[in-house]
Amino acid sequence: MTEKLVIIGNGMAPGRMLEHLLEAAPDRYAVIIFNAEPRVNYDRIMLSPVLSGEKAFEEIVIHGDGWYIKHGITLYKGHRIVAIDREAKTVTSDHGVTESYDSLVIATGSVPFIIPVPGKDLPGVLTYRDLDDVNAMLLAAQSRAKAVVIGGGLLGLEAAAGLKERGMDVTVLHVMPTLMERQLDPAAGYLLQKAVEARGIKIMTKANTKAIFGNGKVEGVELMDGTIIPATLVVMAVGIRPSITLAKEAGLEVNRGIVVDDRMRTSDPAIMALGECAEVGGHVYGLVAPLYEMARIAAARLADGEDRRFVHSDTPTKLKVTGIDLYSLGDFADGEDREEIILRDASAGIYKRVVLQDNRIIGTVLFGETADGAWFNDLKKKATDISEMRDTLIFGQAFQGGVSSDPLAAVAALADDAEICGCNGVCKGKITGAITGKGLTGLDDVRAHTKASASCGSCTGLVEQLLKLKLGEAYNPAAVQPMCGCTSLGHDDVRRLIKAKGLKTIPAIMQELEWKTSCGCAKCRPALNYYLVCDWPDQYADDYQSRFINERVHANIQKDGTYSVVPRMWGGVTSAGELRAIADVVDKFEIPMVKVTGGQRIDMLGIRKEDLPAVWADLGKAGFVSGHAYAKGLRTVKTCVGTDWCRFGTQDSTGLGIRIEKFMWGSWTPAKVKMAVSGCPRNCAEATCKDVGVVCVDSGYEIHFAGAAGLDIKGTEVLGLVKTEDEALEVIVALVQMYREQARYLERIYKWAKRIGTAEIKRQILDDTSKRKAYYERFVFSQKFAQVDPWSERVSGKDKHEFRPMASVGFAEAAE
Amino acid sequence: MNWIAIGAIADIPRRGARCVETPQGKIAVFRTADDQVFAIEDHCPHKGGPLSQGIVHGVAVTCPLHNWVISLETGKALGADEGAVRTIPVRVDGERLFIALEALASKAA
């Protein structure tokens, strides 16, 4: 005879239990579910993406209506059980439905904790628990008004991020000094706060809520210290409590949760409990992994299957806010018998900490880069002795095994006269001599005594390695973010070593710097190719196979595999003849889209690769050359019409823009470089958000740099004012050359400038005339090899193979 | 197997690729740094990007559209991504290259 199984609650834990049970004993039970929520089983963990708009509710449903029908399960939606009669073995819902059971499973989950302050019941005060809460928040968010989230834990931060994403002005109140203090150490809490604040969310720590106030609805929150924060929505996310009232009223043993044994049985043998409402071995759980383990055990017991028992284990915590990577696991408090390994990279916002006891991992906090979380978790679970890999443990799994990973080998092999610090001209011998001779012990000492690494700082990694080499374990340098998985060296180290060791080919770099892969990867090869092009313009043969396709075929690849073509229009000026030539090309090659770009020129999109050389040939006849719209190189110089036409113009901005573009086109740079010249401070060419910009004034030319108007928006900084066009050109060229020589591949000018510091750039470009002239000369020299129009080269037959298929086969057979 | 000539190994640059057009779509033929030759469908399992246009490293290619890394030996996506393209048998006879089009032909039939 089929037994009757009644389940109270339809969350993730009982849902998973049913899946296991249906697999093990499909026909044994007639299943009846009472769900207080009026809907099917869904993935509660994914509510945050629903709130932020990254997912729709339909996408997070685990079991749709059809699933219940298919398995013959009766689901009472919107029925809350109000009584359990253990004598009669029945349950009764608030709608008056009574069902009898042979086995009963209580999975009532948890209820949000409401802090007992005045105003907690005002309309506009919500919790964050189920889909109804999310819908209410979404409704409130339409106002795009102010919201306060009380609680800086996992749920609170996810709610805050979601509300912010929906356009609200969000403040998070957290009672402790750092966020997520139960899962994170203070250092990671600090980084998390910075990352959350960077999204425009305000955070107030040590914020004790005194009252929520408002007349008929929420108007704001008052703190203990008297601070008033206006808000039309307050979300309480201060924690959850197991929902145990029903079990308690039925006379079952309860403590913090419903007490169950390690097979999920309550004090009544016919009743089991699982999920967030259950307490096993003194623990209650809120994360999904242990809840799923409970589900597996409960199903096994119901099916009289394997004798599986619940064992406590730590579960990692992850934050589900797009763009913030956070992972925490286990115990990470300091202790006398504990040791820790820490890696920090301030500029990349990375923090990793592994806590060890007896050479075994007991806790991990990862921020900014969490890919190795699972690996650390595994080592912890298996209690692996890590002493063998201790030195490289913190770098993660990719760095284990392999013998070649002595990061000091490359530096040790350097000759004494190899230049380490390019800014101040300091060689290796001078630094190592000072370390031993003067008994230096740290980076600051080396900076003070030798000036190495005291200017732009890009050689810091190498100086630290020299310290390590001389001082051994006594010195512990901060870890460097490697270029990619192929090396443990960072970009700056590689750039310095290319110069110091005179490395002039990619294979030479890979050999001398002990690359871990045979021929690199798509991350390091383009970077190395650029560094070599920049450093040895007259000697290095550009390796086209190490260039991204756009730079290899001098056009922009589109999503459908066709290309777009943008010819140069110097300073954004064109003519009837040029426009006519473009029109003819568009007609002849049936180019599907013609678009004016943001850089004052014309883009032809949808060109087949095979047609590119013919398109360029026609454009070339009209005098066009490549606009390098695809290049990590000089893109456009936008201009306004200046003194030629404009009644406000103070200088010939169009002329200067064209002059700069004609001087600098063809140069390769670490990332794209966009420029503009405006004829007066009204700034019609929008020069103040460019990589380099000029704003003309009566007294001369104000040189701007380090602006951004893409992923980041940032106004430029003023480098200085010069009196003549010639000076303006010299300063701009020198600045770009300094950037070319120092920046990391794909690093835009504003990021490089932030790293180096505006003061240092001004010092080298404006104050130090000989430095400026040297930069200028090196750029001019490099241009001799760079200013070749790649389109006309290819029209004359270079790289023919790129544009033609190797063969056409099989067509005859198909025609038969 | 029915081997069809497609050209010579020297037609393909080292760490590069060329396309072979067939009625069933483009095939990308790769030549690695150590002169191994592989052929796979020119169609990334992610969003259909032309793999022949990617950067070749080791025995893998990185798709130019969204940087998936595809193994040239197995056609499978490497790393965290999941998906695969079909591989096409290649025979190197001295300098000459041949591919077996049977798989494609059977698909057409």
Residue-wise pLDDT for A393-442, tens only, equals 888 776 765 434 466 776 777 778 877 877 777 888 889 999 988 888 88
Chain B: closest CA distance from residue A805 (Å): 5
For A29-63, the pLDDT digits (tens) are 999 999 998 888 888 878 888 888 888 888 888 88
B85 has a chain A CB within 8 A of its CB = no
Comparing A455 with B30, the larger pLDDT belongs to B30
Whether the pLDDT of residue A814 is over 60: the answer is no
Question: Do A549-631 and A409-543 have the same topology in CATH?
Answer: no
DSSP letter, residue A763 = I
CB A272 within 8 A of CB A207: no
- What does the alpha-carbon distance between residue A720 and residue A710 come to, in Å, rounded to a whole number? 24
CB contact under 8 A, B104 and A810: yes
pLDDT band of A479, cuts 50, 70, 90: low
Q: What does DSSP assign to residue B41?
A: E
Tokens of A231: 């808000």
Sketch out chain B's domains with CATH numbers: 3-104 (2.102.10.10)
B41 inside 8 A of chain A by CB: no
Query: Hey, are the CB atoms on A520 and B6 less than 8 Å from each other?
Result: no
Cα A252 from Cα A261, distance rounded (Å)? 13
Q: Which helix (H) or strand (E) holds A169?
A: strand A169-173
Structure confidence at residue A139 (pLDDT): 87
pLDDT of A812: 61
Contact B77, B68 (CB under 8 A): yes
Residue whose C-alpha is closest to residue A791's, from A485, A647, A585? A585
Amino acid at A673: V
Q: Which of A200-204, A315-319, A657-661 has the lowest mean pLDDT?
A: A315-319
- More confident position, A340 or A78: A78
pLDDT at A404: 40
Q: Would you call B55 an interface residue with chain A, using a CB distance cutoff of 8 Å?
A: yes
Q: A152-161, A577-586, B54-63: which has the minimum mean pLDDT?
A: A152-161
Cα–Cα distance for residue pair A104/A32, rounded to 1 Å: 10
Strand stretches in A20-134, DSSP E: 29-35, 41-42, 61-63, 74-77, 81-85, 90-93, 98-100, 103-106, 110-112, 125-127
Class of the CATH domain delimited by A125-238: alpha beta
Q: Kindly state the helix (H) or strand (E) to which residue A283 belongs, with its residue range.
A: strand A283-284
A148-169 pLDDT, tens digit each: 999 998 889 989 998 998 889 9
Contact B53 A519 (CB under 8 A): no
- pLDDT for A740: 97
Does residue A197 contact residue A157 with C-beta atoms inside 8 Å? no
**Long-range CB contacts (within 8 A, 24+) of A246-249:** A246/A8, A246/A81, A246/A82, A246/A84, A246/A106, A246/A108, A247/A84, A247/A106, A247/A108, A247/A273, A247/A277, A249/A83, A249/A84
Q: What is the pLDDT of residue A384?
A: 86
Position A23 scores a pLDDT of 87
Look at B18 and A801 and tell me if their CB atoms are within 8 Å: yes
- Quote the mean pLDDT of chain A: 89
| Residue A206 DSSP label | S
The answer to whether residues A432 and A418 touch, using CB atoms and an 8 Å cutoff, is: no
- Please name the residues in contact with A212: beta carbons below 8 A apart, sequence gap of 6 or more: A117, A118, A119, A120, A122, A125, A218, A220, A221, A222, A234
Under an 8 Å CB criterion, which residues of A touch B? Answer: 517-522, 525-526, 544-550, 553, 557, 559, 561, 801, 805-811, 813-814
Q: Shortest Cα distance from B66 to chain A (angstroms)?
A: 10
User: Are A517 and B19 an interchain contact pair (Cβ–Cβ within 8 Å)?
Assistant: no
| CA-atom Rg of chain B in angstroms | 13
Identify the residue with better confidence: A397 or A356. Answer: A356
Instruction: Single out the residue of A607, A561, A608 nearest to residue B49, CA to CA.
Output: A561
The answer to whether B56 faces chain A, any CB pair under 8 Å, is yes
Band of pLDDT at residue A652, cut at 50, 70 and 90? very high
pLDDT at A815: 41
Residue A720 pLDDT more than 60? yes
Q: Which residues pair with B27 in a beta bridge?
A: B20, B41
Residue A346 pLDDT class (50, 70, 90 cuts): low
CATH top class, domain A634-788: alpha beta
Please answer yes or no on whether B105 and A810 come within 8 Å at the CB atom. yes
Choose the mutation target among A325, A806, A816 for the interface with B, i.e. most B CBs under 10 Å.
A806
**CATH homologous superfamily for A549-631?**
Sulfite Reductase Hemoprotein;Domain 2 (3.90.480.10)
> Looking at domain A409-543, which of 1.20.1290.10, 1.10.10.60, 1.20.1250.20, 1.10.10.1100 is its CATH number?
1.10.10.1100
pLDDT in tens, A245-292: 999 999 999 999 999 999 999 999 999 999 999 999 988 988 777 888
- A634's enclosing H/E stretch is strand A634-639
How far apart are the C-alpha atoms of A672 and A655, rounded to whole Å? 22
| Residue that has been written with the tokens 């009223």 in this structure | A249
CATH superfamily of A3-110+242-302: FAD/NAD(P)-binding domain (3.50.50.60)
Residues of A with Cβ-Cβ distance to B34 under 8 angstroms: 518
Q: What is the pLDDT of residue A312?
A: 84
Burial readout A85-116 (b: 16 or more C-beta within 10 A, e: otherwise): eeeebebbbeeeeebebebbbbbbbbbbeeee
CA of A549: which chain B residue's CA is closest? B53
Task: Calculate how close chain A gets to B82, using CA atoms only, in Å.
Answer: 17
Q: What is the nearest CA distance from B87 to chain A, expressed in angstroms? A: 17
Identify the pLDDT of residue B103: 58
- Other CB atoms within 10 Å distance of the CB of residue A566: 23
Q: Nearest CB to B64: which of A557, A810, A813?
A: A557
Lowest-confidence range among A298-307, A403-412, A421-430, A601-610? A403-412
Task: Measure the CA–CA gap between A257 and A603, rounded to whole angstroms.
Answer: 65
Measure the CA–CA gap between A713 and A200, rounded to whole angstroms.
14
- Cα–Cα distance between A407 and A638 in angstroms, integer? 45
Q: Where are the domains of chain A?
A: 3-110+242-302, 125-238, 325-399, 409-543, 549-631, 634-788
Spatial neighbors of A668 by CB under 8 A, at least 6 apart, are A530, A533, A534, A631, A632, A633, A740, A786
Both structure tokens of A149: 């989230």
Instruction: Provide, rounded to the nearest whole percent, the portion of chain A with pLDDT above 90.
Output: 55
**Cα distance between residue A580 and residue A220, in whole Å:** 63
- Of B7, B14, B56, which has the smallest distance from its Cβ to A807's Cβ? B7
The fold of the A325-399 domain, in CATH, is: Enolase-like; domain 1 (3.30.390)
Residue contact B20–A809, C-beta within 8 A: yes
Helix (H) or strand (E) holding B25: strand B25-31
What are the start-end ranges of the H helices in A322-386? 373-381
Average pLDDT for A660-665: 96
Residues 6 or more apart in contact with residue A24 via CB below 8 angstroms:
A299, A300, A303, A305
Tell if the CB–CB gap between A519 and B99 is shorter than 8 Å. Answer: no
Q: Nearest CA to CA, how far is A443 from chain B (Å)?
A: 37
